[in-house]
Amino acid sequence: MKKRIAIDMDEVIADFNAKHLRVFNRDYNENFTVNDLQGTRLRELRPHLKNEITAYLNDPAFFRDLDVMRDSQKVIKQLSEQYEIFITTAAMEFPASFTSKYEWLKEQFPFLNEMNFVFCGDKSVIRADYLIDDNSRHFQRFEGQGILFTAPHNVNETGYVRVNNWLEVRNYFL
Binding residue for a second copy (CB under 8 A) from 32, 56, 98, 160?
A: 98
- Phi/psi region, residue 48 (left: phi>0; alpha: psi -120 to 50; beta: rest), is alpha
By the rule CB under 8 A, 52 interacts with a second copy: no
Catalytic residue flag (residue 8): yes
By the rule CB under 8 A, 102 interacts with a second copy: yes
Binding residue for a second copy (CB under 8 A) from 72, 88, 108, 154?
A: 88
By the rule CB under 8 A, 118 interacts with a second copy: yes
By the rule CB under 8 A, 86 interacts with a second copy: yes
Dihedrals φ, ψ of 25, to 5°?
-60, -40
Measured from the CB atom, the residue of 56 and 98 that comes closer to a second copy is 98
Burial of residue 94, with CB atoms counted within 10 A of its CB: 0-12 exposed, 13-18 middle, 19 or more buried: buried
Catalytic residue flag (residue 10): yes
By the rule CB under 8 A, 149 interacts with a second copy: no
DSSP state letters, 69-84 = PTTHHHHHHHHHHHSE
Q: How far is the C-alpha of 146 from the C-alpha of 134, rounded, in Å?
A: 10
| Enclosing H/E stretch for 21 | helix 16-28
Where does this chain touch a second copy (CB under 8 A) — which range of 12-20, 24-32, 64-72, 113-121? 113-121
By the rule CB under 8 A, 120 interacts with a second copy: yes
Where does this chain touch a second copy (CB under 8 A) — which range of 27-35, 74-82, 120-128, 151-159? 120-128
**Angle at Cα 139 formed by Cα 131 and Cα 81, nearest 5°?**
5
132, 18 contact by CB (below 8 A): no
**Residues annotated catalytic, as ranges:** 8, 10
Contacts to a second copy by CB under 8 A:
4, 6, 86, 88, 90-93, 95, 98-99, 102, 113-122, 124-128, 143
